[in-house]
Structure 1
Amino acid sequence: MRTRFIDTPIGGLRLHVSAGLLTAIDFDATPRGVPVADPVLDDAERQLTEYFAGERTGFDLPLAQDGTEFQRKVWSELQTIGYGQTATYGEIARRLGYTAGISRAVGAANGANPLPVVVPCHRVIGADGTLTGYAGGVERKRILLSLEQPGLF
């Protein structure tokens, strides 16, 4: 596994790559060691830098999404929420063919997303339109949504 630290407007992120796939992005990372050369890490750093500069609205990276079948379905659906758009947990459930009653399960899968920002779990909001839990903290979620749609939150 190879890793790389990048500094972003939402704090330090650590990118993880294994077998040519981006496997995880960690919040609250700190710099350590010398950056290693890796084409996937290079692409991920470039694309995230472009995203935070407002120059990119989507990502084109090879992703490993190790999780349950349900988690992978939710993570795949998250990738259909467009830049600057939001969806509720209930809407995600309905899009997947379930009732809105499993919105908590959708929330749990959302929270288990190993690739935040790239797989845009920050675009999922509460049924009442409020910012609800986010693995990186609600303030990071607000920053990401405001980056995509200034004045939204």
Structure 2
Amino acid sequence: MVTVKYYDSPLGLIFLAADDTGLIGLWFEGQKYFAQTLTRNYQTGSTPILESAVRWLRVYFAGEKPSFTPRLHLIGTDCQIAVWKRLLAIPYGTTATYGEIGKQVAAERTGFRPSPQAVGGMVSQNPISIIIPSHRVVPANGSLTGYAGGVIQRARLLMLEKTDMKPLLIPPSLSALLPLEAA
């Protein structure tokens, strides 16, 4: 049985879903691909897996690097899962490009040579936002486009991690919207 709950983060409501194996989803309310891995059979409540995810989020939104990862249950194609697992290796406070992720996954998987665009598609469908840090993957030109949670959320997450934002392309119209509100 899948259990769901909401977490009220400094960036807005986050919807969490877990089954008996692990966390299957973590989405910003209304983001692209919202709840795509969620079945129709679910209940609202809490489980040890959901509470572990909430603890992780509390540490993260306090501006600290969590020292643990909640148990995850990735649901996707073999290629998607390989890319999502690779995202877990991107260090806190840094970024990687879609091309770099593709090359790293290709080095680990025989016969898998995804283009940066294919990697981008798989990254954008990451069902466990933030914990699997798709916000840390940017195009080679440093633009902040393409994040399922939105450009502002991506920038705020990177700023929370104290990522060097100088090499990234932030549209001037967004600059005033970026400071993260105090939790």
Question: Normalising by structure 1, what TM-score?
Answer: 0.88
Q: Is the CA contact 1:6–1:45 (under 8 Å) kept in the aligned structure 2?
A: yes
User: 2:52 matched to 1:43?
Assistant: yes
Consecutive aligned runs of 4 or more in structure 1 exceeding 4 Å deviation: 98-101
Q: 1:80 — aligned with what? A: 89
1:76-134 CA distance string (max 9 Å, x none): 11011000010000111111227987000000000110001010000001101121211
Q: Which runs of 5+ in 1 are unaligned?
A: 30-34
The one-letter code matched in structure 1 to 2:18 is V
Q: Which runs of 5+ in 2 are unaligned?
A: 31-43, 169-183
User: 2:73 matched to 1:64?
Assistant: yes
SS of the counterpart of 1:7?
strand
Among all aligned residue pairs of Structure 1 and Structure 2, give the percentage whose two residues are the same amino acid. Answer: 39
Deviation for aligned residue 1:68: 0.7
Q: Is the CA contact 2:84–2:126 (under 8 Å) kept in the aligned structure 1?
A: yes
Q: Is the CA contact 2:5–2:46 (under 8 Å) kept in the aligned structure 1?
A: no
Q: 1:22 — aligned with what? A: 23
SS of the counterpart of 1:97?
helix
Q: 2:136 — aligned with what? A: 123
- Relative contact order, CA 8 A, sep 6+: which one is greater? 2
Question: Normalising by structure 2, what TM-score?
Answer: 0.75
Q: 1:135 — aligned with what? A: 148
User: 2:52 matched to 1:54?
Assistant: no
SS of the counterpart of 1:15?
strand
**Structure 1 range deviating more: 95-104 or 68-77:** 95-104
Q: 2:98 — aligned with what? A: 89
Distance 1:146 1:69 in 2: 32
The CA RMSD measured in Å over matched residues stands at 2.0
Larger Rg: 2
